[in-house]
Amino acid sequence: MPVISCSAPGKVILCGEHAVVYGAPAIALPVLQVSTTVKIIAKPQAPPRSITIKAPSISLDGSLDSLELDNPLRAAVNLVMQELRVNRIPACEILINTTMPLSAGLGSSASVTVALVRAISTYLGHPFDNNRVNHIAFEIEKLHHGSPSGIDNTVITYGAPVFFQRNKPIEFFKIIRPLTLIIADTGIKGSTASAVAQVRQRWEMDRDGFEAIFREIGQLTLQIRRDLETGHLDEIGPLLTRNHELLQRIGVSNLALDQLVNVAMQAGAHGAKLSGGGLGGNIIVFANPEQAQQIAQKLLKSGAARTLVTLIPSTDGAC
Ligand code: MEV
């Protein structure tokens, strides 16, 4: 029985989240230790249009047609069909497995979409290239998050560090020296959609103040990119911590995130910040590789629900 299997990684935002929605640059990194796999198993004996979909992480087990039209999974499949101008898919079972915690800032929604779009387009005989996958994944992110910048789907589709600015070509850049990051999850589910909406409301009330913060975040991001490109990793820590302070000022941090940032800094990290939408989810911590496990242990003792030590490898900037 033919089986198609496609996957996609997770991500962290290194710097620039939220400001990126308003046109500032941001940097995102793929996280390869977590991933989503979508398998498609052809069911030639099943009735012609029968498509079942199973996603244990969200307790989904049913027919694709029973999902609402704007359900992101169904919408992703429909967009692939539209692109290919086909009106039916041969009977099959779609099986979605992710090793990613949901609503934790690791990009689970984009990861599921990217893996699903790859799998369906392959099953239909026309595997999409990354540009096509990314285009559809962005449309589906809008169903999840309202007005996303597009950074999550982009880093997850290309699986490479990206320097991202809205309405500008995607830039892949060099990382001269590998860096060690600890990702620590508060265990509190953070809704990116509501964080983005809250920032929008506050921005409406104080546009000048918020624009100044977004400009500073943009400058930090440019500096961090230069430091990664030139291997000046010692400079990056304080810039990340400053980014966290600015995220506090726009109201997307909370006590749990701040506490984990403080614990990491007291344990000897070079820098730490919330990552992604905030209001829960993850912090990222930049530390010496030799200290990473010890800091991760302290974070766990101080209430982190889980930690992940990840090495961001050096890259030549090509993709
Ligand atoms: C979420 O990973 C990053 C945000 O900036 C939202 C977005 O860019 O779409 C908070």
Give Cα 186 to chain centroid, integer Å.
Answer: 16
pLDDT in tens, 132-185: 999 999 999 999 888 899 999 999 999 999 999 999 999 999 999 999 999 999
Which CATH code, of 3.40.50.300, 3.40.640.10, 3.20.20.140, 3.30.230.10, is assigned to 4-164? 3.30.230.10
Cα separation, 313 vs 97, in Å, equals: 26
CA of 9 to the centre of ligand 1 (A): 17
The pLDDT tens digits for 39-78 are 999 999 988 789 999 999 999 999 999 999 999 999 999 9
- Residue 317's pLDDT band (boundaries 50, 70, 90)? confident
The confidence score (pLDDT) of residue 49 equals 80
> What is 174-312's CATH superfamily?
GHMP kinase, C-terminal domain (3.30.70.890)
Looking at residue 1, what is its pLDDT? 57
| 276 φψ region: left (φ > 0), alpha (ψ -120 to 50), beta (else) | left
- Give yes or no on whether 4-164 and 174-312 have one common fold: no
Q: Is 192 close to ligand 1, i.e. is its CB under 6 Å away?
A: yes
- Is-contact 30 11, C-beta < 8 A? yes
In the chain, where are the structural domains located? 4-164, 174-312
How many other β-carbons are positioned within 10 Å of the β-carbon of residue 112? Answer: 29
Contact 282, 185 (CB under 8 A): yes
Q: Model confidence over 234-293: pLDDT tens digits?
A: 999 999 999 999 999 999 999 999 999 999 999 999 999 999 999 999 999 999 999 999
The residue among 306, 301, 239 whose CA lies nearest residue 267 is 301
Q: In whole angstroms, give the CA distance from residue 8 to residue 98.
A: 9
Mutate to test the pocket of ligand 1, among 11, 12, 17 (most ligand atoms within 8 A of CB): 17
On the question of pLDDT at 131 being above 60, the answer is yes
Summary mean pLDDT of the chain? 95
